[in-house]
A and B are shown apart, each in its own frame.
Chain A
């Protein structure tokens, strides 16, 4: 009898139930989308923060002091130590290689350019170099690590003899893209003009082999900029790995802190010293935690609003059915049975609405991810049971007051159609 009552009650009066059903679906959809966005926003913003550039720099261990003023290094170019270019792909062999967005080697050398009285810095680097480590193939270079560089019209090839000319230097020597520039007796084609708003505007940026040839040191690299996705630092991150117990060390090593990634880079590249670039690394943690905190609070507001919408709709739907309740009670049904019928109905409604809402919410989260971040927002399958439980709980909570009120209602008044 009970299932039939619930079934019949659920089947009829579809119009009234529709409003409640829509409210549950919408509420759950918003909640699902918000939770999905809030759990993923950290990773998404982390990637956006990479547009500030590299957060780690690797230098030779025994390097001499840089004597650099206004972007011009006064140190003799062959002075000091170098890293070996052949070691660079090993960066992708480190524990956190999936978190390494890209890296760029730099080899600054001082050259003479025809028509410029003072020394000019030429920097050899990767632009979009194809490399491989083991079976893994990847491309890396300044196009990834220095996204604010503007080039007009073309990037040079990594194996070519063409270069980028900084915009202020270009104005000084009166050269344009397509011209040829004479650097220490090497004629180099200008493929594009570079504008960075930094010291590079006075420099020449060339493929790494060009700089190595001019310097006469094949395979040499002065420093490597590494752009990595990191976790905001906490008390564990800043501890010295030498003083850790083995368990703490493992936890530290296996967390993507900027410090542990630096440590692993040092392990991967022989005779190197890796350090965080504090301007970038320190601040991204703060910005990241602020944005995550903001989204968390907004998600709470969204959950609250959805819960309220669901309970308002349920209350209205139940309140309209006093006559039915009056009839049941007049026929001798106890308050418990009446409540049970309504709760069973609410449960059905919550499950159906919750399911539809979850699908709609997943779609919504995907749309948000695609339109704002140009990437997918992953919906964790574990979210589904959580969402369903929330939907049922909220629907019950929303119905409880209305059901109690409806059950207490005097059947005589209800049947007379009053109130």
Chain B
């Protein structure tokens, strides 16, 4: 295998010098260099692409992982609670107001409470709610069967023993009014819900006349977003108390911060390693072409022209590598999103300028480093092969 590239290039340089106008010469040199040494150029470009792809994927994940994990954390349930003051009810439009403030994606669930009596006089807490909403907000509820019709009730594991041990239709009395209910399914949470009976809100209100007093909200967004929404809502609902559920908010912030910090550390390591890979390949590539360098110098090219030539070459490599690498990296990030979070990772175009700038910078550094070393060497020495 031979490398006739240098010889040809030198001839061509002489040829073109005589014939072609000076401006196109520069572009021609760049193009010929890439075509004639395509193998080495391809390996340099390959390294560039891989590094840019890895960097893109890492940055994309880092930006997106917060949003992804936030949605995971939403399965912990409500992080904001709206409670009417002093045993009153919330105004009827409270739910609509909550939804307008927190945005359409927010799940808000109304709850109303009453203490009813069973046939044998035992007290039990009955809750009116919207089952479709509860089901999405409180995914940890273990329910054997969700109620479908109006007079079906969801019964907590512990309440069942008191209300209807044999899972038969039962009666409850509230202020003299009696209602007959059919047990639909059992509810198990390990917390207070186990001792309650859940009813459909409209049925509950017909029976007791009690309107919702609590709205549990699973709000999306950063802590400061939620805080400002809370302040806004507090102004709209002066009779209610709106408070963040600290247990959920703080746990979430804690885990999120640690995960982000770890991802940040690891992503920087990965990006650093791939930049190093590019540096090693490109330095080898430029160093390999010291004969081109020597010939140009011997033919009288100015130092500025040579520097400009190698810099332009490196920059072109950086730009092409960044564009190709970016598209591949977005693909990798989307794949990770699908595999790990079962949700697509949104391609972040905002990452592109960073990848582009980084690629060009690394390429320039790795071109200029060997040139600086070569500048001190006499062209004759290089051409003699020493």
Q: Which residue numbers of A lie inside 8 Å of B, CB to CB? A: 19-20, 23, 26-27, 30, 33-34, 37, 41, 44-45, 48-49, 51-53, 56-57, 63, 65-70, 74-75, 146-148, 150, 195-198, 275-283, 286-287, 290-291, 293-295, 297-299, 301-302, 304-306, 308-309, 312-313, 315-316, 319-320, 323, 364, 368, 371-373, 408-410, 413, 416-419
Contact of A297 among B192, B274, B339 (CB under 8 A): B339
Asked if residues B251 and A279 are in contact (CB atoms below 8 Å), the reply is: no
Task: With A26-B276, A298-B266, A372-B265 as known contacts, state yes or no: A74 contacts B251, CB within 8 Å.
Answer: no
Asked if residues A316 and B284 are in contact (CB atoms below 8 Å), the reply is: yes
Complex: A69 Cα to B261 Cα, angstroms: 40
Contact of B251 among A52, A297, A298, A408 (CB under 8 A): A52
Chain A residue nearest to B260 (CB atoms) is A372
Contact of B340 among A20, A293, A371 (CB under 8 A): A293
Asked if residues A34 and B246 are in contact (CB atoms below 8 Å), the reply is: no
Task: With A279-B77, A410-B2 as known contacts, state yes or no: A308 contacts B340, CB within 8 Å.
Answer: no
Q: Which candidate, B23-31, B174-182, B183-191, B316-324, is the interface stretch facing chain A?
A: B183-191
Minimum CB–CB distance from A392 to chain B (whole Å) comes to 18
Complex: A52 Cα to B87 Cα, angstroms: 28
**What B residues does A34 contact at CB under 8 A?**
266, 269
Q: Does B162 contact A (CB under 8 A)?
A: yes
Asked if residues B122 and A413 are in contact (CB atoms below 8 Å), the reply is: no
Complex: A371 Cα to B277 Cα, angstroms: 27
Asked if residues A416 and B385 are in contact (CB atoms below 8 Å), the reply is: yes
Asked if residues B250 and A51 are in contact (CB atoms below 8 Å), the reply is: yes
Taking A23-B276, A30-B269, A197-B243 as known contacts, 11 extra A-B pairs with beta carbons closer than 8 A to each other, sorted by chain A number, are A52-B248, A65-B161, A67-B125, A196-B247, A282-B139, A312-B47, A372-B261, A408-B1, A409-B1, A410-B1, A413-B3
**What A residues does B3 contact at CB under 8 A?**
413, 418-419
Chain B, 208-223, CB within 8 A of any chain A CB:
213-214
Q: Does B34 contact A (CB under 8 A)?
A: no
Asked if residues B246 and A302 are in contact (CB atoms below 8 Å), the reply is: no
Asked if residues A53 and B255 are in contact (CB atoms below 8 Å), the reply is: no
Contact of A295 among B87, B262, B273 (CB under 8 A): B262
Q: Does B226 contact A (CB under 8 A)?
A: no
**What B residues does A51 contact at CB under 8 A?**
250-251, 254-255
**What B residues does A44 contact at CB under 8 A?**
258
Minimum CB–CB distance from A223 to chain B (whole Å) comes to 11
Chain B residue nearest to A292 (CB atoms) is B340
Asked if residues B276 and A57 are in contact (CB atoms below 8 Å), the reply is: no
Asked if residues A301 and B123 are in contact (CB atoms below 8 Å), the reply is: no
Chain A residue nearest to B47 (CB atoms) is A312
**What A residues does B188 contact at CB under 8 A?**
278
Asked if residues A147 and B250 are in contact (CB atoms below 8 Å), the reply is: yes
Asked if residues B265 and A368 are in contact (CB atoms below 8 Å), the reply is: yes
Asked if residues B277 and A308 are in contact (CB atoms below 8 Å), the reply is: yes
Task: With A413-B2, A418-B3 as known contacts, state yes or no: A67 contacts B259, CB within 8 Å.
Answer: no
Minimum CB–CB distance from A164 to chain B (whole Å) comes to 15
Centre residue among A30, A48, A65, A198 by max chain B CB count within 10 A:
A65
Complex: A290 Cα to B72 Cα, angstroms: 9
Minimum CB–CB distance from B241 to chain A (whole Å) comes to 8
Q: Which residue numbers of B lie inside 8 Å of A, CB to CB? A: 1-3, 6, 43, 47, 50-51, 54, 57-58, 61, 65, 68-69, 72-73, 75-77, 83, 87, 113, 115, 122-125, 138-142, 158-159, 161-162, 188-192, 195, 213-214, 243-251, 254-255, 258-259, 261-263, 265-267, 269-270, 272-274, 276-278, 280-281, 283-284, 287-288, 332, 336, 339-341, 384-386
Task: With A49-B251, A372-B258 as known contacts, state yes or no: A295 contacts B113, CB within 8 Å.
Answer: no
Complex: A200 Cα to B2 Cα, angstroms: 82
Complex: A89 Cα to B191 Cα, angstroms: 23
Complex: A279 Cα to B75 Cα, angstroms: 8
Complex: A150 Cα to B247 Cα, angstroms: 11
Could you list some 25 contacts between A and B, CB below 8 A? A19-B283, A51-B254, A65-B124, A67-B125, A68-B195, A69-B125, A198-B247, A275-B190, A278-B142, A279-B189, A287-B73, A290-B340, A294-B61, A298-B267, A298-B270, A315-B281, A316-B284, A371-B261, A372-B261, A408-B1, A410-B1, A410-B2, A413-B2, A418-B2, A419-B3
**What B residues does A418 contact at CB under 8 A?**
2-3, 6, 385
Which 10 residue pairs across A and B have the least CB separation, nearest first? A417-B385, A316-B284, A197-B246, A419-B3, A309-B277, A52-B251, A313-B280, A278-B140, A293-B340, A282-B140
Chain B residue nearest to A296 (CB atoms) is B340
Asked if residues B284 and A319 are in contact (CB atoms below 8 Å), the reply is: yes
Complex: A302 Cα to B272 Cα, angstroms: 10
Complex: A147 Cα to B250 Cα, angstroms: 9
**What B residues does A52 contact at CB under 8 A?**
76, 247-248, 251
